[in-house]
């Protein structure tokens, strides 16, 4: 049989190819719509996951930065009202700043050598606690029972108890930091030395506080207050006192509010204003009642009606206190629920995601991979059906001189067009869902994510490009099959 070949085959121009693609999509509008929908959902999920993670990270980082002054001021004011606990002292010895350590040295009369020794002991104690907390429950109970570690170590004054603890560590094949023997030996004299130093610091802090008169400090100038604090051993500069003044005034207003709530008439007035029962009135309810300056003026009038010697807070002070308290609460709510005050620092939050790729847990990454796989399978199925339905069209084109490359290009363009459509729809849907979810979680704090607009733009472009690439990859095999199809064999297919 003589083999017939088309001579002078001509390639199709991009314009002609696009018109053929549009015609083909129009004839198979329903299947094309399903393909676009499948791809749009896959891209939307991808964009939503990355955009939501970007929004969460940005808002939480900015919230941690915004709440840091509140917490720093609260810690400083707390030190001026009550002595540090032993736990706070050991933590400060481990990673406290020079000013705090200088205060401790002054209060306890520590030499540089004693302070350096206390810092080293505090680090050893911290490592011992972390290792103890990392143990499984059964190992921890076997070693020390249900008691906290500090209380459980009291019995280790007995050498026999220390030997038995070393034996239990060996039996369970547990290796503390530095070895079993040094770890157990630390709970004898070194830990006692650390606790003695901590108690000396606490006693000195108590003596320093006894030299401060709250009423005098409240009305003293920053210069006078700074001098008084320096005489008591505190390392707080005049500039720091100036920054602390607004926080101290809000704290004073909060205390006055709490004291005023003991008055039944005040509680009854606030209950009527908030439309709650009188037993439900709390400082938080009273704070939320002050939503506007007019509300603050109303509450000031109610407080002024009380028969007390102390003047009530002004309306401006009440509104300032309520406004900042609500802002601090919103910032705290935006932070991860499982995080403590120490882990809400921006640097610590960044470090918490180092073990996860792009800050996403493995389960989410698996879902992203599955969505991409579904996208590829869906597009490949649609393109395979498109090739099967167009056998006659392919045969006619090749008989009229169309090259195999032109046929393949046409199908790849069709797949790319579907990818662009699905990518655009999916990107818009994913960003909209991420923004809506962010508003539900953070409310007006969502504006803090403005710094991430550039990142969100890159996420959108990356997802759109990925959608197109996946579509083209999924269409490679069907397009290659269509291009290699002999015209005679294609025309036999109905």
Which of 145-154, 182-191, 246-255 shows the lowest per-residue confidence on average (mean pLDDT)?
145-154
Mean pLDDT of 255-275: 89
Among residues 232, 228, 208, 205, the alpha carbon closest in space to that of 216 is found at 228
For the chain, the residue count is 494
Asked whether residue 28 falls in the same domain as residue 121, the answer is no
List the single range of 224-228, 287-291, 410-414 with lowest mean pLDDT: 410-414
Number of domains the chain contains: 2
Same domain? 27 vs 136:
no
Distance, CA of 140 to CA of 132 (rounded, Å): 7
Helix, strand or coil, per DSSP, at residue 402: strand
Mean pLDDT, residues 120-134 taken together: 87
Please say which residue of 211, 229, 250 terminates a domain.
211
Confidence band, pLDDT 50/70/90 cuts, at residue 431: very high
Residue-level pLDDT at 296: 92
Measured distance CA(46)–CA(49) in Å, rounded: 5
Q: At residue 438, does pLDDT exceed 80?
A: yes
96 assigned to some structural domain: yes
Kindly state whether residues 89 and 48 are assigned to the same domain.
Answer: no
User: Contact 50/459 with Cβ under 8 angstroms?
Assistant: yes
131 and 34 share a domain? no
Residues 400 and 455 in one domain: yes
**pLDDT surpassing 50 at residue 342:** no
What is the residue-wise DSSP string for 76-144?
A: HHHHTTSPPPHHHHHHHHHH--HHHHHHHHHHHT--HHHHHHHHHHHHHHHHHHHHHHHS-HHHHHHHH
Asked if residue 172 belongs to a domain, the reply is yes
> What is the rounded average pLDDT of the residues 35-59?
84
Which residue, 188, 211, 234, sits at the end of a domain? 211
Of 207-221, 365-379, 446-460, the range with the lowest mean pLDDT is 365-379
With beta carbons less than 8 A apart as the criterion, state whether 466 and 430 touch: no
Q: Is residue 425 part of a domain?
A: yes
Residue 468: pLDDT band (50, 70, 90) is confident
Q: Which residues contact 192 (CB under 8 A, 6 or more apart)?
A: none
State the residue range of the domain holding 152: 83-211
pTM value is 0.71
Residues 32 and 147 placed together within one structural domain of the fold:
no
Residue 104: inside a domain: yes
Phi, psi (degrees; rounded to nearest 5) at 402: -70, 135
Query: Is the pLDDT score of 8 beyond 90?
Result: no
Task: Indicate whether 210 pLDDT > 70.
Answer: yes
Residue 456 domain-assigned?
Answer: yes
**pLDDT value at residue 383:** 67
Over the chain, what is the mean pLDDT?
Answer: 80
Residues 131 and 30 in one domain: no
Same domain, 54 and 155: no
Q: What angle do CA 324, 341, 73 make, to 5 degrees?
A: 45
Q: What is the mean pLDDT of residues 26-44?
A: 72
**DSSP run (H or E) holding 364:** helix 362-389
- pLDDT band with cut points at 50, 70 and 90 for residue 200: very high
Burial of 133 (C-beta count, 10 Å sphere; 0-12/13-18/19+)? exposed
CA–CA dist 378, 389 (Å, integer): 17
Q: Does one domain contain both 157 and 40?
A: no
Residue 311 lies in a domain: no
Q: How confident is the model at residue 353 (pLDDT cuts 50, 70, 90)?
A: very low
Q: Does the residue 386 lie in any domain?
A: yes
Res. 202: pLDDT tops 90: yes
pLDDT tier for residue 130 given thresholds of 50, 70 and 90: confident
Percent of the chain with pLDDT over 70: 82
Q: Does residue 294 surpass a pLDDT of 90?
A: yes
Residues whose CB falls within 8 Å of the CB of residue 359, separated by 6 or more in sequence, listed in order: 53, 57, 353
Specify the pLDDT at position 356: 46
- The answer to whether residue 44 sits within a structural domain is yes
C-alpha count within 13 angstroms, C-beta hemisphere, residue 408: 14
pLDDT given for residue 19 in this prediction = 66
Separation of alpha carbons 390 and 311, rounded Å: 89
What is the Cα–Cα distance from 400 to 9, expressed in whole angstroms? 8
Q: Quick check: 368 and 467 in contact, CB under 8 A? A: no
Check whether residue 363 and residue 478 sit in a common domain: yes
**CA 49 to CA 224: how far, in whole Å?**
55
Sign of CA dihedral 173, 176, 181, 184: negative
Say what percent of the chain tops pLDDT 90: 17
Q: How much is the pLDDT for 387? A: 67
Alpha helices in 109-237 (DSSP H): 112-134, 137-144, 149-152, 159-171, 180-186, 189-210, 214-219, 222-231
Of the candidates 211, 245, 273, which is a domain's last residue?
A: 211
Q: What is the pLDDT of residue 354?
A: 42
pLDDT tens digit string along 394-415?
777 777 666 777 777 777 787 7
- Do 59 and 99 share a domain, yes or no? no
Q: Is the per-residue pLDDT at 449 higher than 50?
A: yes
> What per-residue confidence (pLDDT) applies to 160?
80
Examine the domain organization and report whether 203 and 167 are in the same domain.
Answer: yes
């Amino acid at each position: 049989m003589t083999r017939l070949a088309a001579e002078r085959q001509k390639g199709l121009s991009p314009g002609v190819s696009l018109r053929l693609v549009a015609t083909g999509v129009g004839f198979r509008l329903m299947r094309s719509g399903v393909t676009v929908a499948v791809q749009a959902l896959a891209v939307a999920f991808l964009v939503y996951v990355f955009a939501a993670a970007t929004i969460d990270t940005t808002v939480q980082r900015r919230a941690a930065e915004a709440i840091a002054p509140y917490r720093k001021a609260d810690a400083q004011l707390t030190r001026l009202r009550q002595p540090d606990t032993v736990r706070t002292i050991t933590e400060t010895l481990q990673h406290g700043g020079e000013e705090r350590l200088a205060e401790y040295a002054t209060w306890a009369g520590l030499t540089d050598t004693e302070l350096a020794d206390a810092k080293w002991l505090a680090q050893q104690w911290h490592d011992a606690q972390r290792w103890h907390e990392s143990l499984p429950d059964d190992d921890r109970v076997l070693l020390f029972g249900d008691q906290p570690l500090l209380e459980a170590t009291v019995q280790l004054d007995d050498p026999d108890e220390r030997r038995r603890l070393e034996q239990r560590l060996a039996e369970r094949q547990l290796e503390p930091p530095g070895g079993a023997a040094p770890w157990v030996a630390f709970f004898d004299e070194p830990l006692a030395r650390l606790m003695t130093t901590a108690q000396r610091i606490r006693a000195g802090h108590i003596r320093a506080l006894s030299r401060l008169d709250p009423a005098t400090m409240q009305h003293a100038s920053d210069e006078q207050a700074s001098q008084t604090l320096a005489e008591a051993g505190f390392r707080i500069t005049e500039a720091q006192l100036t920054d602390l003044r607004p926080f101290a005034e809000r704290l004073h207003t909060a205390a006055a509010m709490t004291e005023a709530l003991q008055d039944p008439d005040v509680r009854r007035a606030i209950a009527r204003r908030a439309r709650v029962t009188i037993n439900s009135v709390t400082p938080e309810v009273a704070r939320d009642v002050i939503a506007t300056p007019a509300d603050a003026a109303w509450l000031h009038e109610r407080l002024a009606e009380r028969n007390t010697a102390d003047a009530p807070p002004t309306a401006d002070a009440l509104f300032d206190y309520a406004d900042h308290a609500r802002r601090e609460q919103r910032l705290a709510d935006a932070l991860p629920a499982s995080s403590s005050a120490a882990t809400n620092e921006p640097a610590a939050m960044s470090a918490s995601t180092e073990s996860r790729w792009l800050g996403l847990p493995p389960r989410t990454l698996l879902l992203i991979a599955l969505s991409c796989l579904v996208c590829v399978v869906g597009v490949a199925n649609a393109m395979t059906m498109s090739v099967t339905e167009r056998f006659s069209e392919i045969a006619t084109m090749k008989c009229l001189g169309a090259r195999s490359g032109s046929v393949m290009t046409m199908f790849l363009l069709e797949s790319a067009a579907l990818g662009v459509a699905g990518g655009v729809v999916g990107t818009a849907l994913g960003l909209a869902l991420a923004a809506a979810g962010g508003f539900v979680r953070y409310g007006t704090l969502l504006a803090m994510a403005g710094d991430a607009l550039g990142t969100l733009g890159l996420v959108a472009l990356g997802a759109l490009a990925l959608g197109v690439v996946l579509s083209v990859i999924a269409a490679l095999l069907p397009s290659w099959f269509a291009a290699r199809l002999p015209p005679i064999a294609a025309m036999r297919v109905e």
